[in-house]
């Protein structure tokens, strides 16, 4: 393409923020407590009008409209209240990336985001001294449709723009011309060859409403030229598809990557935890029972995929920083999805509540299958009346800060001396709660139901006066008698109408 204007700056380094907008954090279900960053190669810089090449052999090229800060005077160890003085200008940017390489990059984003032309910038600059950094607007269009809009107000940004300058200057000298890409709002998704992406940054309330102008780039097909003898090939899975498109639904995937198929859920609802535990033991898995927890209401059946929340032991200074506001506990209850079980690690400490009626209401509204906590529950009777299945160590009136600090979520935890990984299958009944590795769930429940069918036949024979020897389990003639019974009374498959 000819007559393409060059980028308006020539940075020595390009530094990008992982997550900065609350809308993006909500989309991903992850809220960073502090900013985190990655580097993009200066050779990825491009101007408005330059084509975006999607290499052959890749599928998930995604745009991210962002606000770019251009450093004016070098910054080293600058305090927050002076950081904006080191910003010369702001402009529009597009932090492009190929999700086909994100897993291989393991967080560095080197392959996925540093390809030539993957940081379009411009076309013009806004004088940073002429605008309020908390009053900028970012908009992105794809083929003329507005797909992203975000503002830099305190309500929308997790961190003020100046904080990125102050923070980074603690670790490196930000030099004149360096560029900081400040994160994208919700709306980023996959683009295809032929799509035109436009990004604009402006200050609509400032005198003259200064604007960067529209940064416009068109996606085109290009050669892949990937050589597996010198490096990794692109590769994708459903997690990358969901992140690239912005949601599982947009990627054509189930709404919840942990969602249980209905047939599996139906079978698990018929299977007792005692039988499931026995089948897991046959497979060498002994520590799969969440010890010490019981249902609030006798007769409760709990089935779902695990989401996790971890509490650390109470410490006053950490509770000051992690206990207030929209903390990890509230985020976990706010983002639990239909059919999921929120499993809480509270170190088997019953002397404080790990949830109450408001959180139970939120989980119920979200369609959660239930909650398992190896700690206590406050508002115990109110929670019971809500009807959400809850398994715990019992009631306790104390608030969270007495024993616990809400720390993080969606990671492997220890609940009731059992390891629980997000996506594990959780089943609870009056006997307690068991954890089933997702990969084993289908075979474990099928074998459990088969064994229950056999045990029902055995129970009938015992009720008729049969001796246990040779009958429990059935061997010899009893085994043959059961096989004859089985031929006429096959094991039913719940939820399918099949046998």
In DSSP notation, 190-252 reads B--TT-EEEEEEE-TTSTT--B---EEEEEEEE-----TTTSPPP---HHHHHHHHSSTTTTT
Q: Does residue 256 carry a pLDDT above 90?
A: no
What mean pLDDT is predicted for residues 284-305? 96
Dist CA 386 CA 360 (whole Å): 7
Helix (H) / strand (E) element for 425: namely strand 425-429
- Say if pTM beats, i.e. exceeds, 0.85: no
Count CB-CB contacts under 10 A for residue 256. 19
- The pLDDT, as a whole number, for residue 2 is 55
Length of the chain: 499
- The pLDDT, as a whole number, for residue 249 is 79
Task: Provide the CB-side half-sphere exposure for 4 (13 A, CA).
Answer: 19
- The pLDDT, as a whole number, for residue 329 is 93
- The distance from CA 151 to its chain's CA centroid, rounded to whole angstroms, is 24
Pairing state of beta strands 145-151 and 137-142?
A: antiparallel
Dist CA 400 CA 385 (whole Å): 21
**Average per-residue pLDDT for the chain:** 91
353 beta partners = 376
- Kindly indicate the confidence band of residue 302, based on its pLDDT and cuts at 50, 70 and 90: very high
Q: Does residue 32 carry a pLDDT above 90?
A: no
- Kindly indicate the confidence band of residue 392, based on its pLDDT and cuts at 50, 70 and 90: very high
Q: Which residues are annotated as a binding site for substrate?
A: 356-359, 378
Cα–Cα distance list, 421 to 178, 374, 437 (Å) = 41, 15, 8
What mean pLDDT is predicted for residues 25-30? 75
- The pLDDT, as a whole number, for residue 494 is 63
- The pLDDT, as a whole number, for residue 225 is 79
Cα–Cα distance list, 292 to 130, 170, 192, 306, 418 (Å) = 62, 47, 53, 18, 11
Q: Does residue 495 carry a pLDDT above 60?
A: no
Q: Which has more confidence, 224 or 169?
A: 169
Q: Does residue 496 carry a pLDDT above 70?
A: no
Dihedral in degrees, nearest 10, Cα atoms 334, 337, 338, 341: -90
User: Is the backbone of residue 229 left (phi > 0), alpha (psi -120 to 50) or beta?
Assistant: alpha
Q: Which residues are annotated as a binding site for Mg(2+)?
A: 379
Domains and CATH numbers, the chain: 14-245 (3.90.850.10), 262-441 (3.50.30.40), 445-488 (no CATH)
**Residues contacting 281, CB < 8 A, separation 6+:** none
Q: Which residues are annotated as a binding site?
A: 356-359, 378-379
Count CB-CB contacts under 10 A for residue 238. 13
Q: Which has more confidence, 25 or 347?
A: 347
Dist CA 96 CA 321 (whole Å): 34
- The pLDDT, as a whole number, for residue 230 is 83
Q: Does residue 34 carry a pLDDT above 80?
A: yes
268 beta partners = none
Q: Which has more confidence, 27 or 99?
A: 99
Report yes or no: 393 and 292 within 8 Å, Cβ to Cβ. yes
What mean pLDDT is predicted for residues 290-309? 96
- The pLDDT, as a whole number, for residue 19 is 93
- The pLDDT, as a whole number, for residue 499 is 46
Residue with tokens 């119920």: 364
- The pLDDT, as a whole number, for residue 51 is 95
404 beta partners = 313
Cα–Cα distance list, 100 to 56, 221, 225, 242, 331 (Å) = 11, 15, 15, 12, 29
Q: Does residue 108 carry a pLDDT above 60?
A: yes
């Amino acid at each position: 393409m000819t007559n393409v204007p060059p980028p308006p700056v020539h940075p020595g380094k390009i530094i990008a923020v992982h997550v900065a907008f609350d809308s993006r954090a909500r989309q991903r279900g992850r809220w960073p407590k502090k900013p985190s960053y990655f580097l993009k190669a200066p050779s990825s810089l491009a101007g408005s009008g330059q084509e975006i090449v999607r290499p052959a052999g890749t599928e998930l090229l995604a745009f991210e409209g962002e606000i770019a800060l251009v450093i004016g005077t070098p910054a080293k160890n600058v305090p927050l209240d002076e950081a904006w003085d080191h910003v010369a200008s702001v402009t529009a940017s597009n932090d492009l990336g190929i999700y086909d390489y994100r897993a291989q990059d393991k967080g560095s984003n080197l392959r996925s985001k540093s390809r030539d032309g993957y940081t379009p910038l411009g076309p013009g600059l806004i004088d940073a001294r002429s605008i309020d950094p908390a009053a900028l607007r970012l908009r992105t269009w794809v083929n003329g449709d507005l797909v992203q809009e975000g503002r830099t107000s305190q309500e929308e940004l997790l961190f003020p723009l100046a904080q990125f300058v102050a923070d980074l200057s603690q670790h490196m000298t930000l030099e004149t011309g360096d560029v900081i890409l400040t994160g994208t709002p919700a709306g980023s998704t996959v683009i295809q060859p032929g799509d035109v992406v436009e990004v604009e940054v402006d200050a609509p309330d400032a005198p003259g409403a200064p604007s960067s102008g529209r940064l416009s780039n068109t996606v085109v097909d290009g050669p892949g030229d990937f050589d597996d003898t010198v490096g990794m090939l692109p590769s994708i899975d459903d997690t990358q598809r969901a992140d690239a498109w912005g949601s599982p639904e947009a990627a054509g995937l189930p709404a919840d990557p942990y969602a249980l198929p209905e047939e599996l859920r139906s079978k698990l609802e018929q299977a007792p935890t005692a039988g499931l535990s026995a089948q897991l033991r046959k497979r060498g898995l002994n520590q799969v029972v969440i010890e010490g927890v019981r249902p609030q209401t006798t007769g409760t059946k709990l089935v779902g995929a695990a989401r996790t929340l971890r509490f650390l032991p109470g410490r006053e200074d950490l509770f000051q920083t992690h206990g207030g506001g929209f903390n990890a506990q509230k985020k976990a209850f706010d983002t639990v999805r239909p059919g999921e079980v929120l499993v809480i690690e509270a170190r088997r400490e019953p002397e404080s509540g790990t949830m109450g009626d408001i959180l139970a209401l939120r989980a119920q509204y979200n369609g959660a299958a239930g909650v398992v906590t190896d700690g206590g529950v406050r508002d115990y009777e109110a929670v019971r009346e809500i009807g959400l299945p809850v398994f715990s160590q019992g009631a306790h009136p104390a608030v969270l800060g007495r024993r616990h600090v809400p720390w993080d979520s969606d990671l492997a935890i220890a609940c009731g001396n059992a390891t629980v990984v997000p996506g594990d299958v959780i089943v609870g009944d009056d006997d307690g709660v068991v954890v089933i590795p997702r990969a084993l769930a289908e075979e474990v429940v099928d074998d459990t139901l088969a064994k229950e069918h056999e045990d029902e036949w055995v129970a009938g024979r015992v009720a008729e006066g049969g001796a246990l020897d040779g009958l429990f389990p059935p061997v010899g003639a009893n085994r043959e008698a059961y096989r004859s019974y089985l031929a006429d009374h096959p094991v039913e498959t719940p939820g399918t109408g099949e046998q």
